[in-house]
Structure 1
Amino acid sequence: MHLSAMAAASLILLFCCYQPEAIADTEKPPEKEVYVRYTRCGGQEIAFQVTLESFAIAAQGMRPAVDIHVWRYNRIPENTDLSDPAQRATLFAWSGGPGASAMTLHMGLLGPKRINLQNSPDTGDPLAASIEDNPECLLDLMDIVLIDPPGTGYSGSTDKDNLQYYFNSDRDAKVLADTISQYVKRYNLWRQPRFILGESYGAARAVKVTRELIQQGLPVAGMILLAPHLFYSCTDNVDALCCNWNLQSYAVTARYHGLSAESAEQNINLDRFLNTLKSFSNNTYLPAMINGYKGQHQYPESLSQTLVRYTGMTEQDFQTYGYCPSPTDFIESTLRNAQIIPALKDSRFHIPFETYTGARTLINPIILINQTYIPLFNEYLYSELKPEKEQPYISFNPKILSDWQQLTGDTMNAAIDDITASMMAQRQLRVLALAGLYDLQIPFRAIEYVLSRPGIDPSRVDIRFLPSGHGPYVDEDGLIAVSQAIRSMVTKTLSDH
């Protein structure tokens, strides 16, 4: 998507006239500091400090302010000179939602401690998990700032109506951008490289925040998008694009579980399989679906045979679902034909047929993971970090999700516009997107589609497909893959700067 001359002029005018919506009290001191020595981060011993800090952010003319809390992990300089801004970056990160705190990123990927789930994803049992050192943390490379959006963690307001004012995508992005802006001011980090990381819906938030920061004159070196939700939902959508994206996710899932003819070819390289699948899907299946939606509704017999071969579904299934099964239809088919029930957010997990009770909504490994994380995170929080807080830490606030007011318009087009504008305004901005092959809610090909639109510079975009689901770092292999991908991107970006 290319910006018109008028749009480009508007962008320049916006840079000249932009005023942040929020104001902040930058004199508020940090609330808690804990000094810890950690041994093994990026293969070296480092010392770091963790600080719970707050920033009072208020929309213009509104009081009281919303109080945004962040967890700041910063390395304590020893023999290495970290005073040069070019030698030390900061990563600002948040989870998804809306309504989620930064808990899973805190204890799953970015913090110096992590929760090892072991066998607990299948049970949600915290006794099966443990807290341990996180050798894949990134503190040797950059400081980590984990932000809890309004209504999550300790971030809140004494005025509930005031808090709800921020429950939409634009105001939410302004609050987080202004929090980062005030953080930069507090520590005089104007020239220090900064990275933005968002997970799931938090990736759409990251795209908006990046544009806000650039408009405020704060460059962003890179965006890191984990299982990014950058487009309209394909969970029950039946347009041709979603049909095409979903089909490829079904085929990967069927291959994993041994449900399709392709499963017999497991020795074939996964990348080769994905390329062959993409070619069929884009060149044969998608045109057939587009023509079908024009009213013809007649598909060649060879098409249905190939679909059966890839997905393990039956020809009758495809006829019933109009050759475009939704993820729910695919799950119903595997239940009926193979007697297993793959999970929507991570189709590697499934409940055996003999234990099925009909409650498919419970088959959600992400919910089970959260049930495990919450008690262990609180154990770490109150035994080691010991914040001076009377109120409980809100790991997830379901009311925010129910109250959330999305602005009108297509989420996908808004994300494309934001990324395009940011890349045009800042020629060194890089994007790393990590998608799970077994995520039926956010199909991996949809992420590739969004980030390959005209106007988005492909030379500055790195898209990687991981053998994971919606939580790409919750298992050991996923943690290593995600950490190494981020480390590679940050290192290359800093060397270019």
Structure 2
Amino acid sequence: MATTFKNILCFSLLLLSLPLLAQEKKDSTKAVPPAKSFISSHQGTFGGKTIRYKATAKETHLKNDRDEAVASIWSVAYTQEGLTDLSKRPVTFVFNGGPGSASIWLHMGMFGPQIVKLDSDAKKDDGAAPYTLSENKYALLDLTDLVFIDPVGTGYSRVVGKGKVEDFWGLNEDAASIAKFMRLWITENKRWLSPKYIAGESFGTTRAVAVANALEGGGQNMALNGLILISQALDYDGSTSIHDNITSYLTYLPSMAATAWYHKKAGQGKTLEAFVEECRQFTYDTYAPALYRGTLLNSTAQNAIAEKLSYFIGLDKDYILKSNLTVLVPRFQKQLLADKGLAIGRLDGRFMGDEADDVASEPHLGDPSDYQLSSAYTAALNHFYASVLKVDMDRPYLTSNDEVGEKWRWRTVPDGKYWEPTPVNVARQLGETMRRNTAMKVLVASGYYDLICPFFDTEYTFARNGIVPERVTKTYYEGGHMMYTHEPDLIKLAGDIRKFLTE
């Protein structure tokens, strides 16, 4: 009898707990909050023309095959008002890189209607508030509408509902989500007949090529008119400074020479362009064969190469010999101005940081061309959102998110398919897309002092991979990775893009 009573009690408790278990299962997937939208009207002078435009800052829900929202993409669109024929009005989609960076840098530094003002000559830190925002008279709103996109995990963009970060944090996954967002935006805004461009920076150029490729599939082929690649990173062999990567020793050398010239450690009495060209020829004709010979070089040849490298990059010949004729970029950053106790920037070699440890093998504070700018950009964007666009969100805007990069999936094939890790390379995708889409053209903008994505790597990458050279324009600037922080380059880059969009 006691056992029967016990069984009845357990069964009763189980029945009582079932609704609670069902509720717990139901609550395991968070309810998807409504997408927020903030719309405002503005007027500004761009390219010498007065333009009335609408700013739409909003969340867009991406859905899975079961029509369930899985991600919320944050974007800010600036669209000209008063137009009747939208087929003549281009639209340019803009994003930065990382992976894990929001679009803040191109938004508040280059393309947006207002930009933050900083020391153009890289002599002063951004310091603390207040910072100065000004109307960006070089912005392109007289020529094209602009849509700034923050990929999932950056800005205000995030996974929602049943979404998982692994569905978005990967090379292919990221490209698919951005392509889906672009198609949604184009459809919602009735812009299928409008000319379409993508502008990306750094990993954003990797993304731009992958997205252009993704837009060809999915049963909704969207042909792009052009790509604007700022500080391109299509083949990571040429932008990864590590031991035994011969390609990187070659591609970084002219950027080191340009940076040494800037700091008056090399090439004095010559123009930057002439000195860079001299280094190009040495790299092609002498340095490359020497690197492939390695220890087969005799001591006389090694000394000759070391002397020439010292001439170009301003480091001591003995240090170069001890480095086996191959100086890694982080070591160059620390060594170039070692006599002054300063480390130079990686994103932009013009910047200098005073570090406590002067004998470290590489900068230990971080990148001065990053930490001397980021506070101003962050404050400027938050102020602009709140005060000008009237954005009111319930969470912080993530200008960058390290977790994205830490969990990023570089694998380019599905699980279960044989694959060995290789350097990231979407350059051949670009070549193939250009050959299928014979109207697509490409602008590649490179900074001489960029020690992340070197300008010589652009020349190396675009000379192969099936890329169509007749439809590629390469431009150069006396700045770094974000060349627009140097005001003369901002003006020149804006002019080069204007020419690209109108030719």
TM > 0.5 fold call: yes
Aligned to 1:46: 51
Q: Distance in 2 between matches of 1:160 and 1:248?
A: 48
Residue 156 of structure 1 is matched in structure 2 by: 158
| More divergent stretch after superposition (441-450 vs 330-339) | 330-339
Output the amino acid matched with 2:349.
Answer: S
The CA distance in 2 between the partners of 1:335 and 1:275, in whole Å, is: 23
Sort the Cα spacing of 1:113 and 1:347 in 2 relative to 1 into closer, same or farther, 3 A: same
1:375 deviates by 1.5
For structure 2, the 5+ residue unaligned runs are 1-33, 413-420
Give the 3 Å change call, closer, same or farther, for CA 90–459 of structure 1 in structure 2.
same
Shift of 1:348: 0.7
SS state at 1:46 partner: strand
Select 1:366's aligned residue among 365, 370, 383: 370
C-alpha distance 329-362 of structure 1, shift in aligned 2 (>3 A): closer
In structure 1, C-alpha distance between the alignment counterparts of 2:43 and 2:428, rounded to whole Å: 43
* Counterpart in the other structure of 2:491: 480
What is the CA–CA distance in structure 1 between the aligned matches of 2:154 and 2:297, rounded to whole Å?
A: 50
**Distance of 2:398 and 2:451 partners within structure 1:** 28
Indicate the larger mover: 118-127 or 208-217.
Answer: 118-127
Instruction: Summarize the Cα distance change of 1:354–1:407 in structure 2 as closer, same or farther, 3 Å threshold.
Output: closer
Bigger drift between 176-185 and 333-342 goes to 333-342
CA distance in 2, matches of 1:195, 1:270: 32
Contact 2:258-2:272 at 8 Å conserved across structures: no
Deviations 1:373-418 (Å, cap 9, x if unpaired)?
1122111111121124222222222211211121155445x31221
Q: 1:141 aligns with which of 136, 140, 143?
A: 143
Residues of 2 paired with 1:376 and 1:202: CA distance? 22
Q: Does 1:377 align with 2:381?
A: yes
Query: Could you state the TM-score of these two structures normalised by the residue count of structure 1?
Result: 0.86
Deviations 1:266-300 (A, max 9, x none): xx33322222221111101111111116x446535
Whole-Å separation in 2 of the counterparts to 1:176 and 1:459? 28
For the pair 1:213 / 2:187, whether they are aligned, the reply is no
Q: Secondary structure at the match of 1:324?
A: coil
Contact 1:121 1:368 in 2 (8 A): no
Q: In structure 2, what residue type is equivalent to 1:365?
A: S
Aligned to 1:456: 467
- Rg (Cα) greater in structure: 2
1:179 aligns to what SS in structure 2? helix
Tell me, yes or no, if the aligned pair for 2:241 and 2:249 is still in contact at 8 Å: no
- Give, as a single letter, the amino acid of the residue that structure 1 aligns with 2:261: R
Deviation of 1:238 (Å):
3.2
Instruction: Look up the SS of the partner of 1:468 in the other structure.
Output: coil
Measured in 2, the distance between the counterparts of 1:217 and 1:354 equals 55
- For residue 227 of structure 1, the aligned residue among 223, 228, 231 is 231
| Alpha-carbon distance in 1 for matches of 2:43, 2:147 | 18
Deviation for aligned residue 1:88: 0.7
Whichever residue aligns with residue 58 of structure 2, its letter is E
1:66 aligns with 2:68: no
Deviation at 1:342, TM superposition (A): 1.5
Query: Given the superposition, is the C-alpha separation of residues 171 and 44 from structure 1 closer, same or farther in structure 2, using an over 3 Å criterion?
Result: same
The CA RMSD measured in Å over matched residues stands at 2.4
Given candidates 485, 489, 494, the residue that maps to 2:500 is: 489
CA apart distance, 1:201:
0.6
Distance of aligned partners of 1:47 and 1:85 in 2 relative to their CA distance in 1, 3 Å threshold: closer
* Residue number in structure 2 paired with 1:399: 403
Residue deviations 1:393-449 (CA, integer Å, cap 9, x gap): 22222211211121155445x312210121111001101111111111221111221
Change (3 A) 1:322 1:156: same
Which runs of structure 2 are paired with 1:286-325 in the superposition (5 Å)?
286-292=288-294, 295-296=296-297, 298=299, 299-325=301-327
Change (3 A) 1:100 1:117: same
Q: Distance in 1 between matches of 2:180 and 2:119?
A: 38
Per the alignment, residue 443 of structure 1 pairs with: 454
Counterpart for residue 275 of structure 1: 277
Q: Which whole-Å CA distance do the structure 1 matches of 2:335 and 2:393 have between them?
A: 49
- Aligned partners of 1:160 and 1:473: how far apart in 2? 40
Counterpart residue number, 1:186: 188
Equivalences, count: 454
Name the CA distance, whole Å, in 2 between partners of 1:253 and 1:304: 18
Q: 2:177 — aligned with what?
A: 175
Does the residue aligned with 2:41 lie in a helix, a strand or coil? strand
**Secondary structure class of the residue paired with 1:420:** helix
Distance (Å, rounded) in 1 between the aligned partners of 2:394 and 2:255: 45
Does 2:264 correspond to 1:252?
no
Task: Tell me the distance in 1 between the aligned counterparts of 2:174 and 2:297.
Answer: 45
Q: Deviations over 1:357-381 (max 9, x none)?
A: 9663334222331221112211111
AA aligned to 1:286 is A
Q: Separation in 2 of the partners of 1:192 and 1:466?
A: 30
SS at match of 2:450: coil
Q: Which amino acid aligns with 2:397?
A: Y
Give the Cα separation in 2 of the matches to 1:300 and 1:406: 38
* Residue 324 of structure 1, CA deviation: 0.8
The corresponding residue for 1:24 is: none
* Equivalent residues of 2:290, 2:297 under 8 A apart: no
Q: Unaligned 5+ residue runs, structure 1?
A: 1-27, 493-497
Q: Deviations over 1:283-339 (max 9, x none)?
A: 01111111116x446535332222111111122111111101101222233244564
